[in-house]
Structure 1
Amino acid sequence: MGVLVLVTWVAVAGWHVRREYFAPAMTRLAEATLTLDPGTHFYAIRMAGRTIGTSSSRLDTVPEGFRLDDLTQLDLVAMGAAGQAVVRTSATLSTTLRLLTFDFALQSAAGSFEATGSVEGDSLLTVRIQSDGAPPEEIRFRVAEAPLVSGVLPIRLAKGGDLRVGRTVRFPVFDPSTVSNRVVEVEVLERGTVMIADSSYLDPATGRWKMARERAVAGWRISERYGGVQVESWIDDDGRILGSTSPMGFALERTEFELARQARDDTREAAALAAGRGGTPGGAAGDLSGDLVFSTAIASNMALDAAAGYDRLRFRLSGVTLDGFDLDGGRQALEGDVLTVTPEDWARLTPGYSLPYPRMDLREALEPEPLVQSGDPRIRAAAEAMVRGGGRLPNDPRVVAERLTRGVHGLLRKEVVFALPSALSVLESRRGDCTEHTVLYVALARSLGLPARTAVGLVYLDGAFFYHAWPEVWLGAWVAVDPTFGDVPAGAAHLRFVTGTLAQQVEIARLIGTLGIEVLE
């Protein structure tokens, strides 16, 4: 269920041109940015009618061109647990708004994650990653197009002369939170007017900040689409954000700093009072609208109290376009809008190889990747200790997969963690939710030569379907296991929608608030 926390961090970070452009076009863009006014804007972040955080965005001029600094402070509630985090993004940009250097950091009580980097020329990207309990990692890769960062994308749209209703433009964007590039399609939807708070004052009678004046700002409504996820925003003529909404249920609203901070503090005070009366940090007793996990759960039409015992389940999926999801294959079969899940018979599995996996066709499922440090000696030592029996290291993939599932399940204390986890940080802290269980399992498996990948979807629990993550291992086919619950194999009430790295996992966001599930049998 904690996979939503991870997706949330990426979604919040995401709030914050092609090389083949003709030189005259780039010259016009550089000239247009000369009219860009430096300044700082403040925002309130809302969810379910509550202000759960604040954000600021400052644009300055520097010798290279511009510097963009975004700061977000966020309070979240998941499964009744409250957590706070600070997300910082700084980027140095050229006069044409091309990314030169960046520094991204996420800090919470559970740990920290930082990614810094630079672009050489317009195609070589160097990224350095640092997370708790892990040595620094450096990644160098070439990109086909000179990238932007998400915070500057609307400014690039405005200063590039693309603010025309009906106009659609595609931009390459680098996301430091997932250490990946993506193509974002931006469409200009309409021209209109947005009312924003223009000033505030402290009321001496109440000691509270109040809005002194509203101001009408001419703006443009735009849509940003990537990986099936859509975010809508209102921007001003300079491309600065006036407000936006995301599929996660968050809303960003430009306001005055004092008003945003006061609204956030009011939410914190109300949460503390609710907790004292037997409620949750998200609200009063029985109010789950502010809880990230419970508010996004999908109620089941049928009780599946012994879900692990079903040898097959069928579900009708509705409310979303299913194209692009990894629904068909292996244990899952999709016919129209009906998904059938048939768990593997563990005793009948025949992997067809001995460890380590001998071929190159599954190389991506064997190699280290950001936050999955399967090449670290500490990961290898922990994996060997977990699966070794009678002094010998088994080479049967099925035996190793089962022992790792039981081992990770028993090793980690079950609790929601508000962080971007790495395998090494989880191994050190020995606590976490489904995301932590999965990232550690995948790293342990790969260190022993067992191909493993992350799956994200939904799982049935206590009358509802919750967003969840679990590993899949290659045993002649991709087989789901669940170290969070200790299930080998995972039961039929696991519905896989996405597989792959963190960048791919974020695509699950487009299901939230729209997916319907009907249990057929």
Structure 2
Amino acid sequence: MTFFKPLPRSITRPVSAVFVIAWIVSMAVLVKRSYIDASAANLATDLARYGSSAEWRGVYYRGEKIGFTVSQTVPSEDGFELQEDGRLQMSLLGATTPAALHTTARVDSNFALRSFEFSLDPGTGPVVVRGRVDPSASASGARLIIDITSAGNTRTETRQLSGPPVLSQNFSRLLAGGRLTAGSRQQWTIFDPATLRNQPVTVDIGGRELVRNTGERPIPAFRVDMEYQGLRTTSWITDTGDVMREESPLGLITVREDADSAQRLSVPARVQTDLLEASAVVPIMRQRIDEPRDVRFLRLELDGADLSNADLQGSNQAVRGSTIELTDPQALRPGPADRDLDEYLKPEPFIESDAPEIHAE
């Protein structure tokens, strides 16, 4: 026996559409409250600590605004605390959520690093790196203790460095301490918390130049060229260690601005492209490669890059001067494994090869 007769489609279809639309609206409100509003609230909280003496900078990529940074130096009992926050809006590996960066460096009265905290949140959860310099290390070197926290898990490791670690946040202040000598060439080692690498940097100090930023009077600053792993960047640093402008070969430029101008973001659609894709080296070829799997041998000529690193030599890759030759691995003949293979299988801060989840696979 049927108590209720089925409703006609002329009624059920509009009702179903109303329910679907209501569900979509509810999900949109939930996402807005959980992510967008929460992100805006966190941003306001982070920026509230910066006072009138803070330095704001706009970040541009190939002439278009993609973000901003703000920094300040706060005196402490036994030195200073260097604070910096930043927001960047650019696609990276398919993610278009604005990335948030935060760095706090604690230094002594001579701006020598004591500890730091760095976090990077691409919108999927922050990766936090905390480091502290072991004061009991010998005078010939420095010991850096690092804690890396990601997805609720913390890994601790110790790095033995050849000298006191230097971050980009205190580097300009160290230069201003009597090292801004025009015409000099200096060798530094700078630690990058984002990659956890301590790399040598060649620094060339140029003469004073007038830097003209929008809304500011021209300010004299030293031109500082830095070469890092074959890439050359240029900064303009004042006598007091303030960075007026920075330029990189990838087209990224940071310029000092007032607070309102720096936070004014208007990212056009053509800039919202993948950063890795936009910075890729596209070779000039006589013919297209429509099917990469059919390529058995490839020879490239690469100018303007340092190819002397021994890691570039491999079983199917050979480097001779500025020429790189790649051979299809299918053409390789079996042979003994490399003796140092275990070195490359060890766990790293961002590659947890010893995690139980990986061993269980």
Equivalent position of 1:221 in the other structure: 223
Name the aligned partner's letter for residue 111 of structure 1: G
Q: What does residue 347 of structure 2 align with?
A: 368
Q: In the alignment, which of 190, 208, 217 is matched to residue 191 of structure 1?
A: 208
- 1:158 and 2:182 aligned: no
CA–CA distance in structure 1, aligned partners of residues 171 and 114 of structure 2: 14
Structure 2 portions without partners, runs of 5+: 1-51
1:260 to 246, 259, 262: 262
Report how far residue 148 of structure 1 moved.
1.9
Letter in structure 1 aligned against 2:70: S
Cα deviation 1:487-510 (Å, max 9, x = unaligned) = xxxxxxxxxxxxxxxxxxxxxxxx
Q: Classify the secondary structure of the residue corresponding to 1:163.
A: coil
CA positional deviation for 1:325: 6.6
Aligned to 1:196, what secondary structure does the other structure show? coil
Q: Distance in 2 between matches of 1:246 and 1:43?
A: 15
- AA paired with 1:46? Y
Give, in angstroms, the shift of residue 307 of structure 1. 1.9
Q: After the TM superposition, which residues 79-478 of structure 1 pair with which residues of structure 2 at under 5 Å, given as runs?
A: 82-121=96-135, 123-132=142-151, 135-159=153-177, 161-197=178-214, 211=215, 214-262=216-264, 264=265, 266-267=266-267, 270-271=268-269, 282=272, 291-297=274-280, 298-301=282-285, 302-324=287-309, 326-345=311-330, 348-350=333-335, 361-382=340-361
| Per-residue deviation, 1:291 | 4.3
Q: CA deviation at 1:79?
A: 7.2
For 1:97 and 1:361, the matched residues in 2 are separated by 39
1:42 CA displacement: 0.3
Q: How many residues align?
A: 303
Residues 81 and 281 in structure 1, CA contact (< 8 A), matched pair in contact too: no
Residue 144 of structure 1, CA deviation: 2.1
Q: Which has the higher contact order (CA 8 A, sep 6+)?
A: 1
User: 1:52 — aligned with what?
Assistant: 66
Residue aligned with 1:111, SS: coil
Measure the CA separation in 1 of the matches of 2:306 and 2:332: 36
In the aligned structure 2, how far is the partner of 1:112 from the partner of 1:52? 20
Distance 1:149 1:104 in 2: 11
| Deviation of the 1:50 alpha carbon | 0.7
Higher mean C-alpha displacement, 186-195 vs 308-317: 308-317
Q: Which deviations, in whole Å up to 9, do the C-alpha atoms of 1:17-47 show, x marking residues without a partner?
A: xxxxxxxxxxxxxxxxxxxxx9310000000
User: What code does the residue aligned with 1:368 have?
Assistant: P
Please report how far the alpha carbon of residue 117 of structure 1 lies from its aligned counterpart in structure 2 after TM superposition: 1.8
**8 Å contact from structure 2 (residues 312, 319) kept in 1:** yes
TM-score w.r.t. structure 2 length?
Answer: 0.77
Give a deviation string over 1:264-290, Cα, whole Å, max 9, x none: 1x22xx43xxxxxxxx663xxxxxxx5
* 3-state SS of paired residue (2:254): strand
Superposition deviation, residue 313 in structure 1: 2.2
Q: Which runs of 5+ in 1 are unaligned?
A: 1-37, 198-210, 272-279, 283-289, 353-358, 383-521
Query: CA distance change for structure 1 residues 339 and 229 in 2, over 3 Å: closer, same or farther?
Result: closer
Counterpart CA distance in 1 for 2:206 and 2:271 is 38
Q: Can you list the C-alpha shifts for 1:218-246, whole angstroms capped at 9, x where unaligned?
A: 11110122222222101111111000011
Root mean square deviation of aligned Cα: 2.5
Once the two structures are TM-superposed, the CA of residue 366 in structure 1 deviates from its matched residue by: 2.5
Q: Percent identity?
A: 28
Structure 1 residues 294 and 179, CA gap change in structure 2 (3 angstroms): closer
Shift of 1:168: 1.9
Q: Which amino acid aligns with 2:355?
A: D
Q: Is the 8 A contact 2:105 2:169 kept in 1?
A: no
3-state DSSP of counterpart to 1:345: helix
Inter-CA distance 128–337: structure 2 relative to 1 (3 Å threshold): closer
What's the CA shift for 1:67?
0.6
Partner of 2:48: none
Q: Which residue of 2 aligns with 1:24?
A: none
- Check the 8 A contact 1:82/1:281 in 2, yes or no: no
Q: CA deviation at 1:140?
A: 1.6
Deviation at 1:370, TM superposition (A): 0.8
Residues 322-356 of structure 1 show CA distances to partners (whole Å, capped at 9, x for unaligned) of: 3337444321233444332211237953556xxxx
Distance 2:180 2:204 in 1: 9
8 Å contact from structure 1 (residues 80, 281) kept in 2: no
**Deviation digits for residues 91-148 of structure 1 (CA, Å, limit 9, x no counterpart):** 110111111111000012223200012112152211100012x621001232221122
CA contact (8 A) 1:311 1:342 kept: yes
Change (3 A) 1:314 1:184: closer
How far did residue 306 of structure 1 move? 1.9
Letter of the 1:110 counterpart = T
Q: Secondary structure at the match of 1:77?
A: coil
In the TM superposition, 1:15-26 aligns within 5 A as none
Larger Rg: 2
Counterpart-to-counterpart distance in 2, 1:371 and 1:79: 16
- Aligned position for 2:75: 61
**What is the alpha-carbon distance in structure 2 between the residues aligned to residue 142 and residue 97 of structure 1?**
20
What amino acid sits opposite 1:183 in the alignment? P
Q: Deviation per CA, 1:347-378: give whole Å up to 9, x if none.
A: 953556xxxxxx97433223211111111211
Q: Tell me how far 1:299 sits from its aligned partner.
A: 5.0
Runs of 4+, deviation exceeding 6 Å:
none
DSSP 3-state at the match of 2:275: coil
Q: In the alignment, is residue 77 of structure 1 matched against residue 91 of structure 2? A: yes
| Structure 2 CA distance for partners of 1:306 and 1:221, relative to 1, 3 Å | same
| Counterpart contact for 2:75–2:81, Cα < 8 Å | yes
Q: Secondary structure at the match of 1:82?
A: coil
